[in-house]
């Protein structure tokens, strides 16, 4: 069942659905930069995940933390450490899951898959972010797949995708798809409103940060 048809703001499209206890958010944005610029951005993501996690908060995760707003801060994640081994497609993060005025789950360890794929592709000149969903992706040059193994406290399953679609020599579309099947405990807390104001909002901001980095690589310095 879909509860948010779509939002178009600053050339950004969002569709969130909720079915069988799974929240799914698909988000796409038009980027005024070629798909080749994605290599610079994703390579920086990979480097920072491996060697300089704090640097991500200066660009990719910029302004995604505490907002001093009850709606935005209804659910917070505080990362403590991260491990990423690209050649093994393995990632691990240790974090605190904070529900203000209720509880904090400390030192939650999340392990899983981080796969990074590249391919050659022709342009898809008709592709735009508006209305773009997974089944409509015509082609891609870069694809990252992330899957987190089950953690009993937080979720039963979580996975997501990032796709970069070449549109022309100067334009591309970036697409994100994330899926969360929360544990029974978090399901009692995670209303659709809370999900929209915390997780969905941060996915949108994150994608806009990637757009900014692709269009202005100096922001990653």
Report the C-alpha gap between 159 and 46 in whole angstroms: 17
- First CA to last CA distance, the chain: 42
Task: Classify strands 90-99 and 76-85 as parallel, antiparallel or unpaired.
Answer: antiparallel
What are the boundaries of each domain within the chain?
A: 2-220
Nearest of 27, 35, 40 to residue 172 by alpha carbon:
35
Q: What is the per-residue pLDDT across 140-162, written as a single tens digit (0 to 9) for each?
A: 999 999 999 888 788 899 999 99
Report the C-alpha gap between 78 and 66 in whole angstroms: 9
- Tell me the CATH class for 2-220: alpha beta
Q: In the predicted model, what is the mean pLDDT of the chain?
A: 92
Which residues of the chain have a pLDDT value below 70?
1-11
Q: pTM for the complete prediction?
A: 0.91
At 7, is the secondary structure helix, strand, or coil? strand
């Amino acid at each position: 069942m879909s509860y948010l048809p779509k939002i178009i703001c600053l050339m950004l499209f969002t569709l969130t659905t909720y079915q069988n206890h799974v929240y799914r958010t698909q988000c796409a944005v038009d980027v005024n930069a070629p798909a080749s610029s994605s290599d610079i951005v994703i390579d920086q993501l990979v480097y920072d995940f491996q060697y300089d996690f704090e640097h991500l908060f200066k660009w990719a995760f910029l302004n995604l933390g505490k907002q001093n707003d009850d709606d935005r801060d209804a659910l917070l994640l505080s990362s403590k450490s991260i491990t990423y081994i690209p050649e093994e497609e393995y990632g691990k993060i240790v974090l605190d899951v904070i529900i203000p005025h209720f509880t904090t789950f400390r030192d939650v360890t999340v392990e899983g898959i981080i796969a990074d794929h590249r391919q050659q592709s022709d342009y898809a000149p008709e592709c735009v972010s508006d209305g773009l969903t997974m089944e409509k992706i015509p082609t891609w040059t870069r694809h990252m797949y992330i899957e987190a193994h089950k953690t009993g406290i937080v979720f039963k399953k979580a996975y997501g995708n990032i796709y970069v679609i070449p549109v022309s020599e100067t334009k591309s579309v970036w697409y994100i798809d994330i899926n969360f099947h929360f544990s029974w405990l978090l399901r009692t807390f995670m209303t659709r409103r809370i999900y929209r104001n915390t997780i969905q909002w941060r996915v949108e901001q994150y994608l806009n940060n990637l757009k900014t980095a692709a269009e202005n690589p100096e922001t990653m310095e």
